[in-house]
Amino acid sequence: MPTAPARFPRIALIGRHGEPGIALPLARLTRFLAGRGHSVALDAKTAKTAATEGAAVLGDDALAAGTDLAIVLGGDGTMLSVARMLAPRGVPLIGVNLGRLGFLTDIPLAELESTLERMLDGHFVEERRALLAATVLRRDGTRSDALALNEVVVNRGGLGSMIECVIEIDGRFVYAMRADGVIVATPTGSTAYALSAGGPIIAPEVPALALVPVAPHALTHRPIAIPDSATIAIGVASGRDAAVHCDGHAHFALSEGDRVSLARAPYAARFLHPEHHDYFAMLRLKLHWSETPERLNPGIAD
């Protein structure tokens, strides 16, 4: 049995739940890590899909408390969920891409062992990504809390009518707006829904948030970048069937007079990347910058 390595002795593997092909890469990764002397554990939900010989099974609380590193196999949605769970404990994350774009899960499965070998020996770069702490304050005095790594969205419901939002930053009135909704995005979420709504891409090291209207009635309402030290309040002045969504995982109905307060969380998600990771090269690859239609689809005729 190899001596337990000084760096990351306890590693958790978390796979995309319900992924039919997850068992083989999990078994492959478990053998690789055990061969290096790491102790390996699976989260309980992953183990239900693909129990792996040689790996312990831990619940969420035990996993967060007893892990030096988490390796996530899946897409960005899986990574978002794991980051929200482990960020309060400061557990670093490595992402293996089994999804499509993979802005957060950047190691391809074909290069798994060769890339991890160097990273586990200390050849990596670390990024710390801010999270948003959202608090829903209702007229009746009740409240709900949730975390978001990508974005918090206040929007209209299924009835089809616009909502009117009142936006405040650090207690100062900014504007009232009729729109389909408004997005508050972190740098991580600036390449997600906010980008589709016309918001800016914010590099991870920039301490900013993007405030992005969704289909505003007045075209003069434009995206704004604000310091991530600010507290943002979004009040629902009018509109039926409104709701707030945090990373698509926590959803709360909103009524007229309810408010959503947003502030940077007191901890950050820690992402480890291969040593030559380049954020802008990743954007070029994922967003197909400078690509012609012919290069994107070689089958297109001249």
Count of other CB atoms within 10 angstroms of residue 171: 8
Rounded CA-CA distance 183/153 in Å is 5
3-state secondary structure 20-64: CCCHHHHHHHHHHHHHCCCEEEEEHHHHHHCCCCCCEEECHHHHH
Calculate the CA dihedral of residues 214, 217, 223, 224 and round it to 10 degrees: -120
For residue 72, which of 100, 125, 117, 109 has the smallest C-alpha distance?
109
Per DSSP bridges, beta strands 242-246 and 151-155 are: antiparallel
Helices (H), the chain: 23-35, 44-49, 60-65, 76-86, 112-120, 193-196, 279-287, 293-296
Q: Is 242 helix (H, G, I), strand (E, B) or coil?
A: strand
**Exposed, middle or buried by CB within 10 Å (0-12, 13-18, 19+), for 173?**
exposed
Residue corresponding to tokens 């434009």: 222
Whether 229 contacts 207, CB under 8 Å: yes
Q: Which residues are catalytic?
A: 76
Residue corresponding to tokens 């930053």: 169
Length of the chain: 302
The residues with which 269 forms a beta bridge, in sequence order, are 129
